[in-house]
Amino acid sequence: MPRFYAPVFLAALVFAGCSGPSVEVTPLAPETSELGGAIPVTTGDIDAPHEEIAILTVGSFDTTRELIAALRNAAREAGADAVVRVSFEAYGGGESGNLRRVATGTAVRYR
């Protein structure tokens, strides 16, 4: 490696470690804590026989945990037993700095 590239390479390694992505791990399993009860929320599907009753969309929350709690509350209001096929998206940021987080899922009722 030429001498010119060695310092640039080393600097890139040092700064890459400092500015790595942040990771938020939020369990999607049913909880009975502050998240509001035992309504399962999953990005997949469930094996139990069920019927789809509504599409739920919640947004503008700071964390994924708050989105999951809002999905559980919306499911409870709709009379659902679980929320399946949940997807999470973030919009905005940019110059305004406003980030809108949205979760969408299908509310289901067990048969």
Residue 1 belongs to some domain of the structure: no
Percent of the chain residues past pLDDT 90, beyond the cut: 48
pLDDT above 80 (res 34): no
Specify if 18 maps to a domain: no
Q: Is residue 64 part of a domain?
A: yes
| Domain of 77, in residue numbers | 26-110
29 against 43, higher pLDDT: 43
Exposed / middle / buried, residue 67 (Cβ in 10 Å: 0-12, 13-18, 19+): buried
Domains in the chain, number: 1
Predicted TM-score (pTM) of this structure: 0.65
> What mean pLDDT is predicted for residues 66-88?
94
CATH number of the domain where residue 72 is located:
3.30.110.70
Give the residue, 24 or 83, on which the prediction is more confident. 83
Is residue 13 in some structural domain? no
Q: Give 80-104 pLDDT, tens digit per residue.
A: 999 999 999 988 776 766 778 899 9
In a domain, 11, yes or no: no
